[in-house]
Amino acid sequence: MFDYIFFDLDGTLTDSSLGITNSFIYALKYYGEEIPSYKKLCTFIGPPLPETFKTQFGFNDEKTAEAVKKYREYFESKGLFENSVYQDIPEILQKFKIAGKHLVVATSKPEKYSVQILEFFNLAKYFDFICGSHMDESHSKKDEIIASGLKKCNIKTDDQKSKVIMIGDRLHDIIGAKKNGIKSAGVLFGFGNLSELQNAGADYIIKTVTDLERFL
C-alpha cells in the first residue's frame, strides 16, 4: 500500500509527556505564570514551542525567545529522557523494515534532540532519515519538515507521493501531510483526539500501536 512511512515522534513513537510538561512548568515558573493543568499542558505537545508561548501565554517575540531558552535548560538536562517508547513500537518498526518499507521521522522537535532520543531508545537504526526543526526554531512547521523528508527520499511526482503516508497524533501532522499531497493517519494513543484528527481530514484513524500493521 505505502512504501514510505513518515512518523511523528512525540505521541506517536514515544510518550514524552513527562519531560515536555516539566519543561513547560520550569519555563512558566520563571515568569511567575499560572501553571495550567497537566491535561492542558499535554495539548502543548506537538506544535512548535514559539507558537505555544505566543498563542497560549501572549508572549512577544523577545519573551518567547527567552522562554524557549528556559524550556531547554530543563529539557536538555532532564526532560529529554523523561520519556518512554510506546509498547510494541520497536516490533512494529522491525516488521516494517523486514517488509522493505522506507521509514522517516518527521517531527517539529529539533533534529538534534530527536536523534539523541531515538539513539537512546535504540530506534534510530530503523529510519532512513530523521527530520526535525533547527535549534533556532526555524524550519519548525510540520509541512516544511515533511517536505524536507520527501526531498531526502527523492520523492517529487504525484505518483511517488501516492506511496507515502504520514502518521501522527495531532492535527499539525494531518495538515502538513495534506499540504504536501500525501495521505495521513491519525493515532489515538498519543496526545490528540478523534475529533481533532477527523476535523483535520485524516485519511485513516489508528486506535492502537498494533493497528499500524495494516500498513505492512
Please list the active-site residues.
8
DSSP 156-211: -SHHHHTTEEEEESSHHHHHHHHHTT-EEEEESSSSS-HHHHHHHT-SEEE-SGGG
Q: Compute the distance between CA of residue 117 and CA of residue 113 in angstroms, rounded to an integer.
A: 6
Residue 81 to residues 1, 78, 143, Cα–Cα distance (Å): 34, 6, 26
Contact assessment for residue 161 and residue 155, using Cβ atoms and an 8 Å cutoff: yes
